[in-house]
Amino acid sequence: MSVTASETVKAIGTKTAYANSAVASAAYTLTAAAPTCLIYPYSGHYPQIVLASTSPSPTFLYCVDTINTCTPSSSYTVPVQISATGYIRSLTQVSGWTNSSVASCAYTITAPITQATGKTMMSGKMRAQ
């Protein structure tokens, strides 16, 4: 039996020569899961990372580490500044929905590049996990 919508399921047990069992029931409430968070470099301001979602009024939790095992717990409000090679992990929360699965992205910070103008820029790469 599959439950595909919020509903109450009622059942009884039967067997020949025995009385039917009492009615047992269970209520099932299905909720939508928030879409997995999108992670991408902040345009023109690398090494900053932006989190986004296609869901309505999302909030995000994230964490940054070097071995991709942290649990997202920091509240996201502005682009995340990264300063060393590592990973960012994030999840999306939407009121009334279950949390999304955790998204993970690796990023690599390479040595600073000095332009002819004397300005120092960071370069790097990102890849989804």
pLDDT per residue rounded down to tens, the chain (129 residues): 777 678 899 999 999 999 999 999 999 887 788 899 888 887 655 678 889 998 888 999 999 998 888 999 999 999 888 878 889 999 999 988 889 999 999 888 776 655 555 554 455 555 555
Domain hosting 68: range is: 38-128
pTM of the model as a whole: 0.63
Q: Is residue 9 part of a domain?
A: no
Q: Give residue 51's pLDDT.
A: 92
Query: What one-character DSSP code corresponds to residue 80?
Result: E
Specify the number of domains making up the chain: 1
Q: Give residue 23's pLDDT.
A: 94
Q: Give residue 17's pLDDT.
A: 94
Q: How far apart are CA 125 and CA 89, in angstroms?
A: 16
Q: Give residue 128's pLDDT.
A: 54
Q: Is residue 79 part of a domain?
A: yes
Q: Is residue 29 part of a domain?
A: no
Q: Is residue 70 part of a domain?
A: yes
Q: Structure tokens of 11? A: 């059942």
DSSP class per residue in 14-72: --TTSPPPPPEEEEE---PBPPPPEEEEPTTS-SEEEEE-SSSS-EEEEEEESSS-PPP
**Secondary structure element (H or E) that encloses residue 112, with its range:** strand 103-114
* Contact of 110 with 124, CB cutoff 8 Å: yes
